[in-house]
């Protein structure tokens, strides 16, 4: 599972760098879907995913992301339960997500992400 750990680390590095285009290109497939607590629906399509990622980067500029659990589904598909945390003046902003990763040309990319507020 080391390679998925590297992919999550890269996700964290790119989130902290704040470059939404690079984050989307390196960590999400063009068919990615994102949805979660409070969202009006499932975000899909490259333009919509870019908007969601832009919002996340703006709202949580210093994210820490850790794997709570990872499970290989097939050699090219892995699911991860991720814990996300960002410091703020009001206390940490914390949320968790279930991300499904697919190996695309030897690079792990997120195809689906479901998030909720709080810690595991």
Number of C-beta neighbours around residue 12 at 10 A: 17
| Rounded distance between C-alpha atoms, residue 38 and residue 56, angstroms | 14
Q: What is the DSSP letter of 62?
A: T
The pairing of strands 28-36 and 43-44 is antiparallel
Tens digits of residue pLDDT in 62-96: 999 999 999 999 999 999 999 999 999 999 999 99
| Rounded distance between C-alpha atoms, residue 93 and residue 7, angstroms | 22
Question: From the centroid of its chain, how far is CA 75?
Answer: 20
Model pTM? 0.94
pLDDT in the model for residue 2: 73
Structural domains of the chain ordered from first start = 2-117 (3.10.450.50)
């Amino acid at each position: 599972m080391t390679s998925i750990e590297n992919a999550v680390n890269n996700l964290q590095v790119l989130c902290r760098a704040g470059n939404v285009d690079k984050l989307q290109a390196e960590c999400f497939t063009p068919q990615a879907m994102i949805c979660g607590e409070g969202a009006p629906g499932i975000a899909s399509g490259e333009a919509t995913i870019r908007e969601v990622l832009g919002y996340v980067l703006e709202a949580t500029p210093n994210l820490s992301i850790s794997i709570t659990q990872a499970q290989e589904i097939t050699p090219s598909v892995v699911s991860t339960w991720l814990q996300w945390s960002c410091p703020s003046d009001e206390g940490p902003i914390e949320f968790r997500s279930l991300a499904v990763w697919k190996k695309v040309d030897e690079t792990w990319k997120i195809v689906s992400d479901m998030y909720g507020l709080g810690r595991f």
